[in-house]
Amino acid sequence: MTQPKKDESKSALVVSAHSADFVWRAGGAIAKHTQAGYAVHIVCLSFGERGESAKLWRKGGNMTEEIVKASRREEAMAAAEILGATVEFFDMGDYPLRADKESLFRLADVYRRVQPHFVLTHSLKDPYNYDHPMATHLAQEARIIAQAEGYKPGETIVGAPPVYCFEPHQPEQCEWKPDVLLDITDVWDKKYQAIQCMAGQEHLWEYYTRVAQQRGVQAKRNVGITSTKNIVYGEGFQSIFPRVTEDLA
């Protein structure tokens, strides 16, 4: 785990099934909040060594799972560094990702340690990728454990941080509907830099640039054309829980 660099009062937790997911799907949100002083911590449940490292495997020769994992770890650490976040690897394996109680408690302990003000993770469904909803399930259940007074009694429990599902690769096929659009225009440079760390998935760079541009146009549209806000890049999120507020505007 890379060392945290900040000691501010707010924090966030990102639960990523594979080691690159947090970049494509939440890199803007991470950079935006670290820039605002949040300590953002990322947990990569696996390296995506089997299912999301095609380019490495195609090199053939003496490629091994260990080499792939090391390479993916390096990429993820570089990306997290750029985004200003800390990152931790659970190395649970991918394709399939499976969670036992031990992993669940390990993640609950991260919640207790990080005390996040919000949580980012995958969509609830994804017919193309079963590791993704599995990660969401784990992130949700670990949050519930971390809230329980009876789990490691005496420790400080966590509150009720909002949980957001970040954007899957084919949103409509995953029954994912964004109800929050985050303006990431001022941190786009960082996100694109982080994206470029993912050398093994270059075919996705332009895809996720366009995703950001589309969400930017939509965010612009949803604040209204009379707004003076100049939104160019955005990220979409789907809330799991209702938000509590004092102002509806």
| Window 15-34: residues binding a copy of itself (CB under 8 A) | 29, 32-33
Binding window for a copy of itself (CB under 8 A); candidates: 15-23, 76-84, 146-154, 191-199? 146-154
> Is residue 102 a contact point for a copy of itself (CB under 8 A)?
no
User: Please, which of residues 215-234 interact with a copy of itself by CB under 8 A?
Assistant: 217-219, 221-227, 229, 231, 234
Looking at 128, 189, 202, 230, which residue binds a copy of itself (CB under 8 A)? 128
Rounded Cα distance, 68 and 50, in Å: 8
Binder of a copy of itself out of 83, 165, 181, 194 (CB under 8 A): 181
83 lies in the binding site for a copy of itself (CB under 8 A): no
Q: Which of positions 195-214 make contact with a copy of itself (CB under 8 A)?
A: 206-207, 210-211, 213-214
Q: Which residue of 145, 165, 197, 198 would you call a contact of a copy of itself, by CB under 8 A?
A: 145
Amino acid at 11: S
Closest separation in Å from C-beta 177 to a copy of itself: 4
Q: What is the greatest pairwise CA distance in the chain?
A: 60
Cα–Cα distance list, 78 to 116, 190, 197, 210, 231 (Å): 23, 12, 7, 23, 27
Helix or strand or coil: residue 93?
A: coil
Question: Does residue 62 belong to the site contacting a copy of itself (CB under 8 A)?
Answer: no
Which of 22, 90, 118, 233 touches a copy of itself (CB under 8 A)? 118
Q: How far is the CB of 54 from a copy of itself (least distance, A)?
A: 4
Could you tell me how many residues make up the chain?
249
Scored b (16 or more CB within 10 A) or e, 31-65 reads bbbbeeebbbbbbbbbbbbbbbbeebeeeeeeeee
- Give the nearer residue to a copy of itself in terms of CB position, either 3 or 10: 10
Distance of CA 148 to the CA centre of its chain: 24
Q: How far apart are CA 146 and CA 143, in angstroms?
A: 5
